[in-house]
Amino acid sequence: MNVRRYRAKDMSDAMRQVREQQGADAVILSSRRVEGMLEIVAALDTEDAPSAHSAPARSAGRSSAARSAGGRGQVSVDSDLDAMRRELTDLRHLLVQQNGASESAQWAARHPLAAELVAGLNECGFNEKLARSVAGGIPEDTNIETAWSRVRARLSSALVTEQPDILERGGMLALVGPTGVGKTTTISRLALRQIRRMGRDAISLVTLDRQRLGAYKQLQAFGQMAGVPVMLLENERELADLAVRAGDGRLVLVDTAGQAARDVAEQRLFAQIRSEIDLETWLVIAATHQGRVLRQVLHAFQGSDPSALVLTKVDEAEQLGETLSVLLEQRLGLAFYSDGQGLAEHLHAIDTLYLTRLALRETPLTRSAPIRAPAQQSPARPLGSAAIADRLGPLDQGMILESVVPFRKSAHVGL
């Protein structure tokens, strides 16, 4: 144990002396004012950071103790040193925690309004760094209602959105993402949206998911009910061949097998055929994922070059603020989100204002009427709320994807 006493004019000068003499690992044991000077006592655990002078002396001392007590004194000395080392480590951690708490308390005392906003955002799941960034800059004399309005506006405008035109012009669109996020259901929802707008002749469904038999049956059940072709392909090469035969203006929706983030990170989906065909990919993510998991998913699926995000299971998220915190860290835009089990009425074009209000727990999940988005965005409206009798029959409108029932129609296996 290397213990030294220092005198300095202030604490910064004392800390400089400690760092120069004993290094950054030294711990201040006490401080006091003596004759107008600041006197501190600092200690360094020489077991962790031995010096050239202390190491031989310690070694000689141990050898002497071992010879004088037959080895029993050595055990006692080592035990005392270990206990002192643990105490110093605990003291160091305590000082760090107290220093952090003191800084937070001082900041909250200087900025009471911002501290209240940050506390509210933290409670909703937004991380500390984002919360301070959003709350910063709001004048302290602002009333709380106006302050929350500004926080809401900042979060809403910061969320990146995407308005892809592939649904208008047609082409090949593949949905990728981990298992269980709702890719197959989202495929069916997008297909129904396209049928309502363009007719059933403008859509085809393809699945590359040969791992889950239920996924193909679910998509096939929808295809038979809606009267659109469904194909089960073996590999990406067959997808390239299909792209050659597909007509202009037709939308081909491609369902893919779910993969764990650690597995997909080692490969690049569609890498072999992307240069041959015009293929767009969207990444489907679930709002129920923890922030750490969601970051892993976004990073892992970068290799599939997604151009937009689809956020599912919004209604099941315990803290939507945690999800939005992650989305605000990256630049991939949101295109759609879903918030229920319904096939048509629970898929929405992105509305950042509504999602922000939902994350801040300012609005119930049930939407009695569409909430208008900011001027630069299209208003979000439930899909399928209007009748589609001209495109689908009465039985089709009440379909349940999770049920696979026999149909009189034959399976569609081609374009």
Mean per-residue pLDDT for 92-107? 65
Residue 245 has a pLDDT of 64
pLDDT at position 98 is 57
Instruction: Give the model's pLDDT for residue 92.
Output: 73
Render pLDDT for 56-66 as a digit per residue (tens, 0 to 9): 444 444 444 44
Domain ranges of the chain: 2-69, 111-158, 166-397
- Give the mean pLDDT of the chain: 77
State the architecture of 166-397 in CATH terms: 3-Layer(aba) Sandwich (3.40)
Q: Which residue, 12, 2, 77, 76, is CA-closest to 38?
A: 12
Tell me the CA distances in angstroms from 88 to 27, 49, 94, 169, one per residue in order: 7, 14, 10, 68
- DSSP class per residue in 86-110: HHHHHHHHHHHHHHHHHHHHHHHHH
In terms of Cβ atoms closer than 10 Å to its own Cβ (0-12, 13-18, 19+), residue 315 is middle
What tens digit of pLDDT does each residue of 343-400 get? 878 899 999 999 999 999 997 765 443 333 333 443 333 333 333 233 343 333 333 3
- Cα Rg of the chain, angstroms: 32
